[in-house]
Amino acid sequence: MKILRSALVPIIAVVLALLAGALLIQLSGSSPREAYSALFEGSFVGWERFGTTLEKATPLIMGGLAVAFAFKGGLFNIGGQGQLLFGALIAGAAGYGFTGLPWIIHMPLALLLGAAAGAAWGAIPGVLKATRGAHEVITTIMLNFVAANMAEWLCTKVWRKPGDILVRTPMIEGSAEIPTFGNIPLGFLIAVAFAFGMWYLLQKTTFGFEVRSVGLNPNAASYAGISTKRIVILTMAISGFLAGIGGSIETLGVLGRYEPGFNAGLGFDGITIALLARTNPIAVIPSAVLIASMDASASLMQFKAGVAPEITDVIEALILLFVATPIIVRWFFKSRQGEEISFGANWGSS
Partner 1 sequence: MNSLFERIIRLRWWILIFLAIIAFTIFAGDFRQDPTTAILAATLRHSTPLVLGALCGMLCERSGVINIGIEGQMLMSAFVGFTVTAATSSLYLGVAAGLACGMLMGAALGGLTVSLQGDQIIAGTVLNIFALGLTSFLYTPGETIHSKTPRINVGPLADIPVIGKIFFANQPITYVSLLLVAVIWYSLFKTTWGLRTRAIGEHPSAAETVGVSVAKMRYLNLIIGGGIAGLAGAYLSLEAVGSFERGMTNGKGFVALAVMIFGRWNPVGAWGAALLFGYTNAIQTQFQFRGWLTGHPQFIGMIPFIVTIVVLAGFVGRARPPAAIGQPYTRE
By CB under 8 A, residue 241 contacts partner 1:
no
Contact between 165 and partner 1 by CB under 8 A: the answer reads no
Is the CB of 4 or the CB of 165 nearer to partner 1?
Answer: 165
Cβ–Cβ under 8 Å, residues 121 and 83 = yes
Q: Residue 103 Cβ, how far from partner 1 at the closest point, in Å? A: 34
Give the Cα separation of 199 and 17 in Å (integer).
28
Burial 310-335 (b: 16+ CB within 10 A, else e): ebbbebbebbbebbeeeebbeeebee
For residue 340, state whether it binds partner 1 (rule: CB under 8 A).
yes
Decide: 210 and 221 in contact? Cβ < 8 Å: yes
C-beta of 179 vs 265, nearer to partner 1: 265
Stretch that binds partner 1, among 6-14, 149-157, 189-197, 234-242 (CB under 8 A): 149-157
Give yes or no for residue 12 binding partner 1 (CB under 8 A): no
Listed ranges 86-94, 109-117, 143-151, 219-227: which one lies at the site for partner 1 (CB under 8 A) = 143-151
Please tell me the distance from the alpha carbon of residue 71 to that of residue 310, in angstroms, as a whole number.
Answer: 28
CB–CB of 228/221 below 8 Å?
A: yes
Q: Which residues of 172-205 are buried (b: 16+ CB within 10 A; e: fewer)?
A: bbebbbbebeeeebbbbebbbebbeebbebbeee
Neighbours of 65 (CB within 10 A): 33
Task: Compare residues 104 and 158 and give the one whose CB is closer to partner 1.
Answer: 158
Q: Which of 135, 168, 257, 278 binds partner 1 (CB under 8 A)?
A: 135
- Per-residue H/E/C for 239-266: HHHHHHHHHHHHHHHHHCCCCCCCCCCH
Name which of 48 and 340 has its Cβ closer to partner 1. Answer: 340
For residue 347, how many other CB atoms are within 10 A of its CB?
A: 11
Contact indicator for 257, 172 with CB cutoff of 8 Å: yes
Q: Given the complex with partner 1, which of 72 and 106 has the nearer CB atom?
A: 72
184-185 and 180-181: which strand pairing? antiparallel
Residue 19 makes contact with partner 1 by CB under 8 A = no
Of residues 268 through 287, those in contact with partner 1 by CB under 8 A are 268, 271-272, 275
344 binds partner 1 (CB under 8 A): yes
Of the two residues 124 and 178, which places its CB atom closer to partner 1 in the complex?
124
CB nearer to partner 1: pick between 92 and 185: 92
Size of the site for partner 1 (CB under 8 A): 52
Phi then psi for residue 75, to 5 deg, are -115, 150
Among 19, 23, 46, 153, indicate the residue that binds partner 1 (CB under 8 A).
Answer: 153
Residues in contact with partner 1 by CB under 8 A are: 24, 76, 78, 128, 132-135, 137-139, 141-146, 149-150, 152-153, 156-157, 265, 268, 271-272, 275, 308, 310-311, 313-314, 316-318, 320-321, 324-327, 340-345, 347-350
